[in-house]
Amino acid sequence: MSTLTAVVAVLAVSLLTLGIGAFGLRLSRTTSDFYVASRAVGPGMNASAISGEYLSAASFLGVAGLVLSRGVDMLWYPVGWTAGYLVLLLFVAAPLRRSRAYTIPDFAELRVESHHARRVASGLVVLIGVLYLVPQFQGAGLTLRTLTGAPTWVGAVVVALVVLVNVVSGGMRSITLVQAVQYWLKLCALLLPLAFLLVHTHGHAPTGGARLHAADWLEPMQGPYSLYLTYSLILATFLGTMGLPHVAVRFYTNRDGRAARRTTVAVLALLGVFYLLPPLYGVLGRLYVPGLIGSDRADTVVLALPGNALGGLGGDLLTAALGAGAFAAFLSTSSGLLLSIAGVVGQDVLGRWFEPVRAFRLAGVLGALATLTLTLLSSGLAVAHAVELAFAVAASTFCPLLLLGIWWRGLTAAGAVAGMLLGGVLSAGAVGLTMLGVTPSGPLGAVLAQPAMCTVPVAFATMVAVSLATADRLPAHLGSTMVRLHAPEALQLDRGSYRAKGARG
């Protein structure tokens, strides 16, 4: 019975996503629509869409799983994922919108005027996008297995197919609407079961209360290397958000730089409300599903709670609601990521042989297939940790490119390329080893598990040092580029002639 309810819920979310996508399809026809929804998106809608896209499997399932097993220190994940938007707001939001770049590779090309830098950035978009997609597909497999007992590949394939159809057919206009709906869907899907669980807990004092008082779970900074691990996590999440491919592309859909800032403030509010909820699932899981503590299935605690705490038809229905919310999370984040990957690969690789819309579609198919293959091959890291590693790579590559590119006139093409390459190789190397299950003990193990504290400064230092060494090769249009990035749009000024490739549609 519970299987049937859950399958109906997952189907409903998938069909809803496809339905809204099909509705939006009628509205999107030109190349420009495919990439950025023609910029006709208001700040409220845009903030919901950004939040809907951002709250992934890691937020919906992973945070509760980590809190369940490892306690208060894991609250830095959601705090960092929110604070990342504050840092983005401070240094990047308005200038990135004003740059009129669709993607980070566009920004690289505009700022350092080098095709080489653009290509490196494109490669990194694909790398970060795939690193971020794999845990989404993995979470989908885990969810469907928990709900129905189906093998893990089934959920991954379902998500891949729905996302592919949606991205390839609808483009960003429909995605924007889908994403905005998904935020509210996810919030309600967590809020409603939580209300029932809290009322239930209040009425029946559960027996597992002692498990809430274990000092190594309750109190912060307990494990070995906790100071390094926590600060490295903080660095990765605070600085990584601005470099996520699906986040950057969203800023183009704002009307202007001022709207971009206001949208970001609204995003901070929406994320702050959402992130109050998942840790409570972790705490309640401690009481009702102790079997999952520390297990490799801790990520399923959100889904397991209603059945274990309430049982009966009510438990089934609430489990179905959570399953639907989880699928909304996989679908929305995966759509945004696949869209970014397809946009970049379509423009920069396949664009030579195919016309734009066709190249975009083909790139989407290739991206989904590649991720699916990797998901089936990879070993199961905790979903939230796997996602955070993608942040570490973004913080070690695109963060220095954006910060130095926007605020320092001295950045040269050679500096940007060297910094992105070195930061990318080091961080992706550490992430790759961690995903393969290489976990040495001692300080090296801590560095591999949370590389950002080492790789971010190296990337910054390289970018600055190589730029200084090539200071005679500043970009030719640096002056007008800086005007473009920083001057409010209302002023009539010369902002240079660069147009992002996607703008031609």
Partner 1 sequence: MSSEATPPRRVRVTSPRAGRSRRTSVASEIDAQTELGEVYMRSLMRSQLRLAVGVLLLLASTLGLLPLLFVTVPGLQGARVLDVPLAWLLLGFLAYPLLLGLAVFYVRRAERNERAFHDLVGPR
Q: Does residue 210 interact with partner 1 by CB under 8 A?
A: no
Could you say which of 18, 41, 55, 89 contacts partner 1 (CB under 8 A)? 89
> Is 51 or 319 the residue whose CB approaches partner 1 more closely?
51
Q: Does residue 29 interact with partner 1 by CB under 8 A?
A: no
Could you say which of 272, 291, 294, 437 contacts partner 1 (CB under 8 A)? 272
Q: Is 220 exposed, middle or buried (0-12, 13-18, 19+ CB in 10 A)?
A: exposed
* 345, 220 contact by CB (below 8 A): no
> Is 268 or 448 the residue whose CB approaches partner 1 more closely?
268
Return the range that interacts with partner 1 (CB under 8 A); candidates 80-88, 356-364, 423-431, 445-453.
80-88
Q: Does residue 25 interact with partner 1 by CB under 8 A?
A: no
The CB-of-43 to partner 1 minimum distance in angstroms stands at 12
Dist. CA 91–CA 111, nearest whole Å:
16
The CB-of-272 to partner 1 minimum distance in angstroms stands at 3
Q: Does residue 464 interact with partner 1 by CB under 8 A?
A: no
Q: Does residue 338 interact with partner 1 by CB under 8 A?
A: no
Please state at what angle helix 63-70 crosses helix 301-309, rounded to 10 degrees.
70
Q: Does residue 255 interact with partner 1 by CB under 8 A?
A: no
Give the residue from 49, 58, 57 showing the smallest Cα distance to 80.
Answer: 58
Give the residue from 475, 504, 495 showing the smallest Cα distance to 109.
Answer: 475
Could you say which of 40, 227, 436, 469 contacts partner 1 (CB under 8 A)? 227
> Is 286 or 501 the residue whose CB approaches partner 1 more closely?
286
Cα(first)–Cα(last) distance of the chain, in Å? 50
* 49, 246 contact by CB (below 8 A): no
Q: Does residue 286 interact with partner 1 by CB under 8 A?
A: no
Dist. CA 400–CA 336, nearest whole Å:
23
Give the tokens for residue 498: 């660069």
* 315, 240 contact by CB (below 8 A): no
| CA max distance for the chain | 73
The CB-of-238 to partner 1 minimum distance in angstroms stands at 8
Q: Does residue 471 interact with partner 1 by CB under 8 A?
A: no
Q: What are phi and psi of 98, to 5 degrees?
A: -70, -25
- Cα three-residue angle 158-159-163, rounded to 5 degrees: 120
Dist. CA 141–CA 151, nearest whole Å:
7
Dist. CA 251–CA 132, nearest whole Å:
19
Numbers of helices and strands, H then E, in the chain: 23, 0
Q: Does residue 333 interact with partner 1 by CB under 8 A?
A: no
Per the listing, tokens 């189906």 go with 150
| Residue 369 CB neighbours (<10 A) | 12
Q: Does residue 479 interact with partner 1 by CB under 8 A?
A: yes
Q: Give the type of residue at 438.
A: V
> Is 165 or 487 the residue whose CB approaches partner 1 more closely?
487
Q: Residues 400 to 419: which contact partner 1 by CB under 8 A?
A: 407
145's torsion region: left (phi>0), alpha (psi -120 to 50) or beta?
Answer: alpha
> Is 220 or 440 the residue whose CB approaches partner 1 more closely?
220
The CB-of-17 to partner 1 minimum distance in angstroms stands at 28
Could you say which of 150, 231, 425, 461 contacts partner 1 (CB under 8 A)? 231
Q: Does residue 483 interact with partner 1 by CB under 8 A?
A: yes
Could you say which of 12, 198, 214, 221 contacts partner 1 (CB under 8 A)? 221
> Is 260 or 435 the residue whose CB approaches partner 1 more closely?
260
The CB-of-89 to partner 1 minimum distance in angstroms stands at 6
Residues near partner 1 (CB under 8 A), total: 50
> Is 296 or 489 the residue whose CB approaches partner 1 more closely?
489
For the window 93-112, what string marks contact with partner 1 as x by the rule CB under 8 A? -x------------------
Q: Does residue 223 interact with partner 1 by CB under 8 A?
A: no
Give the tokens for residue 158: 């379902």
| Footprint of partner 1 (CB under 8 A) | 72, 75-76, 79, 82-83, 85-87, 89-91, 94, 215, 218-222, 226-227, 230-231, 234, 258, 261-262, 264-265, 268-269, 271-273, 275-276, 279, 407, 479-480, 482-483, 486-488, 490-494
